[in-house]
Amino acid sequence: GGILTELKWRDFDLSLVFNYSLGRTIINASKAMALTVNGQSINGLPILADVRKYSFWEQSGDRVDYARLAYEEGKNNFGTSSDMCIEKVNYLRLKSFVLGYTLAEEWTEKIHLSKVRVYVSGENLFTWTNYTGIDPESVDIMTGYDNNRTYPLNRKFTLGVSVNF
């Protein structure tokens, strides 16, 4: 969904565009791949930087973040088809922000222009989400599968001047 707001006060204008998603299911395959020992790991070790901040299964009844940790090829329990990779995802993103100022007519008439507007804008400025992956919006909408092979959306800033003759 989306929310659009346009506000004007005197010679200022402000436009905000938010988009959101509620209850989307995403398979965060990168979560499992981070601890998998296979050809994609670095020097046979998991890609995850610090395994000390996670808990791993050791005995029956343990409530943990991951299945057992193994560094040997072929002896890991991680797989993207595991339900540990399924996340219910919600997010709210400020997709677009524009703040503008239109110069007064008495100023623009002096320089023989009909309208001059200066503005600053930004895209993808921030996202509130419960998703543990990188960017919930860049995940394939058809499959819901995040294998960490897509870039997050770029954050952009623009300064501009609009001139009407």
Q: Which of 92, 100, 152 is nearest to 121 (CA)?
A: 100
pLDDT at 78 over 60: no
Query: 125: part of which helix (H) or strand (E)?
Result: strand 115-129
Tell me what pLDDT residue 60 has: 87
pLDDT at 127 over 60: yes
- pTM to 2 decimals? 0.74
Higher pLDDT, 34 or 19: 19
Token pair 């819901």 is at which residue?
Answer: 144
Residue 154 predicted with pLDDT over 70? yes
Task: Tell me the mean pLDDT in the region 146-152.
Answer: 84
Which of the pair, 103 or 70, is modelled with greater confidence? 103
Q: How large is the average pLDDT for residues 79-87?
A: 73
| Mean pLDDT on 141-151 | 86
- The pLDDT, as a whole number, for residue 117 is 96
Say how far apart CA 31 and CA 87 lie, in whole Å.
Answer: 11
Give the pairing of strands 145-146 and 86-102.
unpaired
Under 8 Å between Cβ of 138 and 153 = yes
C-alpha closest to that of 18 among 27, 30, 6: 6
Give the pLDDT confidence of 38-51 residue by residue, as tens digits: 545 544 445 555 66
What's the CA gap between 77 and 55, in Å, rounded? 14
Q: Which two tokens stand for residue 33?
A: 């791949």
**Whether pLDDT at 65 is above 80:** no
pLDDT value at residue 57:
76
- What tokens appear for 118 in the block? 């200066």
**Residues near 145 by Cβ (< 8 Å), separated by ≥ 6?**
26, 27, 29, 80, 139
**Higher-confidence position of 16 and 140:** 16
Q: What is the pLDDT of residue 54?
A: 74
pLDDT at 161 over 90: yes
Query: Which residues are paired to 146 by β-bridges?
Result: 28
CA 36 to chain centre: 24
